[in-house]
């Protein structure tokens, strides 16, 4: 039976030099390292958009496992990353890699388990659907 959950990482890197956050090749190499190290499978080439007024970059790769996205904000010295995998993956040292690649001073990582089955309590009854779009 396949895994009934995946994992999503929401990552913020702060204190990055603006020139690193405007460097498309650097961010492409970050995606390459993530894809290699986490054994991800791109469905197509990454899509990139660099904004004229700030030089910030948005990148997106659709993965067989879900997606990999980033948004750089040179004007704030920040990089936001989102990696969603539909099945569990080994941990990746985001803090170490982002300090090395974009020279981040601080890195915050939130790891979210994504359950695909509706939670059931001990009695076998589904948990409340309050707040759910299908409830």
Whether 46 maps to a domain, the answer reads: yes
Report d(CA 75, CA 18) in Å as an integer: 7
Q: Which helix (H) or strand (E) holds 101?
A: helix 94-101
Q: What is the tally of structural domains in the chain?
A: 1
User: What is the pLDDT, as a whole number, of residue 116?
Assistant: 73
Confidence (pLDDT) at 125: 62
CATH number at residue 53: 3.30.360
What are the angstrom distances between the C-alpha of 67 and each of 43, 77, 127?
10, 24, 29
Residues of the chain falling short of pLDDT 50: 1, 129-132, 134-135
Phi/psi region, residue 46 (left: phi>0; alpha: psi -120 to 50; beta: rest), is beta
C-alpha dihedral sign at 76, 18, 57, 89:
negative
pTM, entire model: 0.82
So what's the pLDDT on residue 119?
66
- Domain housing 38: 26-64+92-105
């Amino acid at each position: 039976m396949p895994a009934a959950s995946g994992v999503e990482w929401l990552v913020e890197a702060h204190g990055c030099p603006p020139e690193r956050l405007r460097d498309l090749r650097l961010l492409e190499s970050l995606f390459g390292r993530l894809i290699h190290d986490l054994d991800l499978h791109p469905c197509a080439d990454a899509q990139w958009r660099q904004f004229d007024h700030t030089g910030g970059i948005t990148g997106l790769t659709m993965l067989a496992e879900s997606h990999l996205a980033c948004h750089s904000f040179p004007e704030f010295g920040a990089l936001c990353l989102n990696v969603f995998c539909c099945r569990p993956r080994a941990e990746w040292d985001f803090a170490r890699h982002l300090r090395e690649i974009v020279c981040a001073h601080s890195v915050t990582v939130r790891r979210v388990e994504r359950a695909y089955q509706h939670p059931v309590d001990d009695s076998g009854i589904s948990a409340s659907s309050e707040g759910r779009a299908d409830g």
